[in-house]
Amino acid sequence: MSIKRKYIDSHWLVFALQGVLALLFGWYALFTNLNSFEAIIVIAGTVLLGLGIIEMLNLLTRTHLKETWGLSLLMAILELAAAFALLFAKDQNAIMHLAIIGLYTITRGILEIFIGLGSVDDLTDRFIWVLTGVSGCIIGIVVVNAGHLGNLPFIKYFGSYMVVFGVSNLIYAIHNKEQKHDYETDLREKRIESRERHAKNAKKIAAIKELSVKPDRVYKSKNLGEKTAHKLVKKAATKKTKKPTAKKISKK
């Protein structure tokens, strides 16, 4: 039976690692000279493969802990499918790469909006997820329509999305870690209070049982004393009224 722990409740390291990886690629795509288009496609595919592997590890962890894993599986499939599509199509024309990256960015943006609106309760976290999702959808549409600009500009657009994605994931990872610490502290305090309450209730029940048993003991001891006294009186009476034997009569 699966525990209904949401995808956003995954370990904070999952989001932190994905954030660092995405941020490194975004920084590289935006602030370095992209001379080789094929090389940057291979790097982008490798980064997406890394994101997919992290998501697969998260999926295995959630499966092992018997938590819900459907959304994690969907995210892993998206990352790995985009990664392998880029790596195996590195020799294809730029239109193919543009379509893969654009569709990936739009799809991931839609999923992030869905997660933010449907799963997140905290307003700050919801804002982070929805903002990242909206950015992904907008940049994905720009990437799809950027074919006339040449081969490399749309990679910079994709890099800008990865920067937003990386920063958002790092912020959420830190916030998620703090929330988890507060949750565990509250849970520990509640367990201590519950244990103390159970101990007090056990003492009260023991005291009530002891009070209910004592009158029975007094009653039994009283009856026993009355029976003993009655026997002693009866024995003394029989001694007083005992008739003399024939031997004693003859002596007289």
Q: What is the pLDDT of residues 110-147, one digit of tens each?
A: 999 998 888 767 788 888 899 999 999 999 999 888 76
Q: In this structure, how many other beta carbons lie within 10 angstroms of the beta carbon of residue 172?
A: 24
Sign of the dihedral defined by the CA atoms of residues 3, 19, 108, 179, in that order: positive
Domain membership of residue 245 (yes or no) is no
Please state, in angstroms and rounded to a whole number, the distance separating the CA atoms of residues 104 and 98: 10
For residues 55 and 7, the answer to whether their CB atoms sit within 8 Å is no
Domain membership of residue 21 (yes or no) is yes
Range of the domain at 163: 7-179
Domain membership of residue 207 (yes or no) is no
Please state, in angstroms and rounded to a whole number, the distance separating the CA atoms of residues 193 and 195: 5
- What CATH number has the domain bearing residue 145? 1.25.40
Domain membership of residue 43 (yes or no) is yes
Number of structural domains in the chain: 1
- Give the closest residue to 44 by CA, choosing from 16, 73, 24, 74: 24
Cβ-in-10-Å burial (0-12, 13-18, 19+) of 29 comes to: buried
Instruction: Answer yes or no: is pLDDT of 171 > 80.
Output: yes
Q: At what angle do helices 153-240 and 123-144 cross, to 10 degrees?
A: 150
* pLDDT at residue number 67: 82
* pLDDT at residue number 238: 62
Domain membership of residue 148 (yes or no) is yes
* Residue 80 CB contacts under 8 Å (≥ 6 apart), including other chains: 48, 49, 52, 56
Q: What angle do CA 96, 99, 105 make, to 5 degrees?
A: 140
Higher pLDDT, 184 or 249: 184
Instruction: Answer yes or no: is pLDDT of 183 > 60.
Output: no
Q: In this structure, how many other beta carbons lie within 10 angstroms of the beta carbon of residue 25?
A: 24
Higher pLDDT, 97 or 35: 97
Domain membership of residue 92 (yes or no) is yes
* pLDDT at residue number 185: 66
Domain membership of residue 220 (yes or no) is no
Q: What is the pLDDT of residues 200-247, one digit of tens each?
A: 777 778 777 767 655 555 445 555 555 555 555 566 556 555 555 544
* Residue 217 CB contacts under 8 Å (≥ 6 apart), including other chains: none
Q: What is the pLDDT of residues 58-106, one digit of tens each?
A: 999 988 888 888 888 999 999 999 999 999 988 888 888 889 999 999 9
Mean pLDDT of 154-178: 90
Please state, in angstroms and rounded to a whole number, the distance separating the CA atoms of residues 17 and 50: 10
* pLDDT at residue number 223: 55
Instruction: Answer yes or no: is pLDDT of 151 > 60.
Output: yes
Q: Alpha carbon of 98 to those of 13, 111, 112, 144: distances in Å?
A: 31, 20, 21, 6
Q: Tell me which DSSP letter residue 114 carries.
A: H
Please state, in angstroms and rounded to a whole number, the distance separating the CA atoms of residues 133 and 148: 25
Domain membership of residue 211 (yes or no) is no
